[in-house]
Structure 1
Amino acid sequence: MNVKDLFKNKKVLSGVIAVVLVASVAGGKVYADNQKAQEQERIAKIKKEQLAKRDQLKNDAEKAVNDLFEKAIIDNEDDEKIAIKNDLKSDSVEKVKEKYFVVKSKDAWQININNMIENAENQLKQIDTAEKAVEQVYKEKVLNTDQKKYDTAKKEVDKIKNAKAKKELSDKLAKVKSDIDKKNKEKEDKKKETEKASKEAEVKEVSETVVKTNDVTEQQVVDATGQQIDQAQQQTPQAGQETGYYEPQTPATDNGAGTNQNVAPTAPANNGNTGGTQTPAPPAPEPTPEPTQPVGPPAGWITPPFPIGSAELGGWIFDNGFSGYDSSDGYIRPY
């Protein structure tokens, strides 16, 4: 059957066309489904690879950050107390930061990674600050024993978390502290010696003053006593010396015989007759009466230069090195 015959037979031709169209549509649908499935598979594969890469990146980041510290710090409740590992260099921290630090991230895991990297940086900075402070007082040997500089350095060293770095700097400060203590002890010993010498000089001066005062006072007492003795001696009458004492005479009595027995005989009147005339003997001197009380103060007592009980006398007593006095009959005895 040729084409012309086919066109003549319309029914047959319509059937053929329908079959062709159905086959074409069915094939296209199969192809589309295959393409969609392949795309979904490709996307799923990409997502899986991305997730794998992300997980690997997280693992690498956590390992790198943990390697900066003495023990694992990620997800550790004591992360603020964990020290960086011994002899950690700033270059190592910088490399980790360049690779795993993400600026202004809102992801909780990434924020934690950033914080741990900054923690390592801050610990290194603190060690550097402490080293510079220690160098102000010690560098191969003790350079300065200034207490303030030592205190500043010690304060910075105490902030270090790494035990090795902290001990190395603390050992240097211990030498500085030893010199400071030695210097302070020398100052204290010198101060004590100066105070002791000053007290000894003061005691010596006081002792010498007391001795001089006692000597002066004793001399004053001796002089005053001598003066009183001289006065007493001057007031004591000597034999044959007029004392001014008058003993009253017993009045004359008449015994009935017309004569006064108590009247001494008088010399007869001289009428120019010198013959047989006798001169009566002078009367014997009357004895000196004993004084009713001693003249002058007793030994050790003096006449006060000021009234007894007066403030002037009290001042005189203390000025002469005494602490008080006894008084009796107008005299005093300093003690």
Structure 2
Amino acid sequence: MNLKEMIKNKKIVTASIAVLLVAGVAVGGKVYADNQKAQEQERIAKVEKDQQAKEKQLKTDTEKAVNDLFEKAIIDNKDAEKIAIKNDLKDDTVKKVKEQYFVEKTNDAWQKVINDSIVNADNQLKQIDTAKKAVEKVFKDNKVVNTDQKNIDAAKKEVDKIKNAKSKKELSDKLAKVKQEVDRKAKEKEKKTESKQNDTEQSQVKQEEVQQEQPVSQQQVTEQPVYQEEVATTSNNDWGGQAQQQPVQEQVQSVPTPPVSGGNQAPEQPVTPPSSGGGTQQPSYPDYPIGEQTGDIPENGGSWTGGWEEVK
């Protein structure tokens, strides 16, 4: 029996007593009426006493049921708004308490406290559920599923609203794992950025070194001496033909060798190549003896007489 039923029963008992008193007066005399009145008064007193006892017990049961929803008694507690619900409180438990002890549209101060306390417990459960759903957007099935900072901040905001320490810690630990993953990715990104910057700097240094080396190489190529092959010019007057240009190293001219005999033989002299001063160079000849010379020609079976001028 709840409070509403007890109040209803009290009104019914009072009305019954009144009817009996009126009937007693009408039926019997004064004595009978007085006796009946006394008896009914006793009954009324007893009913009221029982009703009060029941009401008191009902209040005790109501307060106990409501206080059991929280970590400590919330009824008549000045810090009621700060008190958290018990660990692992189930939604079904709150619903049962609400169905049994919550009274709609009441002016009773005590009942208003009961109603507010039940609503408080229900709202705390809803907040935990809201926070869980927010956390699941970034951490689910024991792994990080999203590292978007907006989702992380939204989840943290909902977790911070939780009053129950255990539920708050469980969800905060999950967010901590998400933060670790975010920090890990940030460090990896930072390392990649630093590596890329180092590669870029090294590439720039290499390019600068190449650019610095290129002018030196060009300068070396420019400053290398140009070697031109000197040529000697021969005249048609000297050799009986048109002028020719020949490399210096090929300027050594062959000189006719006089017949060999057992007599005198002209010594061979080296031919001096023309100088590099340019211009027409006259060929050099060996110093042949002047005058009439004699010699043998074995292959012809005789000798010869003549001057070296003829040989020329």
Structure 2 matches for 1:53-68, cutoff 5 A?
Answer: 53-68=54-69
**What residue in structure 1 maps to residue 123 of structure 2?**
122
Greater strand percent: which structure?
2
Tell me, in whole angstroms, the C-alpha distance in 1 between the residues paired with 2:45 and 2:145: 69
Instruction: Give the aligned residue type for 1:180.
Output: V
**What residue in structure 1 maps to residue 152 of structure 2?**
150
Instruction: Give the aligned residue type for 1:187.
Output: K
Deviates more, 1:205-214 or 1:139-148: 205-214
Tell me, in whole angstroms, the C-alpha distance in 2 between the residues paired with 1:43 and 1:150: 66
Q: Which stretches of structure 1, 4 residues or longer, exceed 6 Å deviation after superposition?
A: 213-216
Per-residue deviation, residues 55-92 of structure 1 (Å, max 9, x unmatched): 11111000000111111111111111111111110010
Shift of 1:214: 8.5
Q: Does 1:198 align with 2:181?
A: no
Tell me, in whole angstroms, the C-alpha distance in 2 between the residues paired with 1:37 and 1:214: 134
Shift of 1:203: 4.6
**What residue in structure 2 maps to residue 113 of structure 1?**
114
Shift of 1:193: 2.1
Shift of 1:205: 4.1
Tell me, in whole angstroms, the C-alpha distance in 1 between the residues paired with 2:216 and 2:109: 95
The TM-score normalised by the length of structure 1 is 0.53
Change (3 A) 1:209 1:65: same
**What residue in structure 2 maps to residue 81 of structure 1?**
82
**What residue in structure 1 maps to residue 181 of structure 2?**
179
Shift of 1:199: 3.5
Instruction: Give the aligned residue type for 2:146.
Output: N
Structure 2 matches for 1:254-265, cutoff 5 A?
Answer: none
Shift of 1:40: 2.2
Shift of 1:135: 1.5
Tell me, in whole angstroms, the C-alpha distance in 2 between the residues paired with 1:178 and 1:135: 16
Percent of pairs identical after alignment? 66
Say what the alpha-carbon RMSD is for the aligned residues: 2.4
Instruction: Give the aligned residue type for 1:71.
Output: K
Per-residue deviation, residues 241-279 of structure 1 (Å, max 9, x unmatched): xxxxxxxxxxxxxxxxxxxxxxxxxxxxxxxxxxxxxxx
Tell me, in whole angstroms, the C-alpha distance in 1 between the residues paired with 2:201 and 2:112: 71
Structure 2 matches for 1:25-44, cutoff 5 A?
Answer: 28-44=29-45
Aligned residues: 194
Shift of 1:29: 2.2
Instruction: Give the aligned residue type for 1:45.
Output: K
The TM-score normalised by the length of structure 2 is 0.56
Shift of 1:147: 2.1
**What residue in structure 2 maps to residue 188 of structure 1?**
190
Structure 1 gaps, min length 5: 1-26, 224-335
Structure 2 matches for 1:146-295, cutoff 5 A?
Answer: 146-206=148-208, 208-209=210-211
Structure 2 SS opposite 1:80? helix
Structure 1 SS opposite 2:144? coil
Shift of 1:209: 4.8
Tell me, in whole angstroms, the C-alpha distance in 2 between the residues paired with 1:121 and 1:205: 70
Per-residue deviation, residues 145-177 of structure 1 (Å, max 9, x unmatched): 222222222221221111111122222222221
Instruction: Give the aligned residue type for 2:152.
Output: Y
**What residue in structure 2 maps to residue 19 of structure 1?**
none
Change (3 A) 1:51 1:213: farther
Instruction: Give the aligned residue type for 1:158.
Output: D
Tell me, in whole angstroms, the C-alpha distance in 1 between the residues paired with 2:209 and 2:77: 77
**What residue in structure 2 maps to residue 280 of structure 1?**
none
Structure 2 gaps, min length 5: 1-27, 224-312
Structure 2 matches for 1:131-150, cutoff 5 A?
Answer: 131-138=132-139, 139-150=141-152
Structure 2 SS opposite 1:86? coil
Instruction: Give the aligned residue type for 1:100.
Output: Y
Q: Does 1:72 align with 2:73?
A: yes
Tell me, in whole angstroms, the C-alpha distance in 2 between the residues paired with 1:30 and 1:37: 11
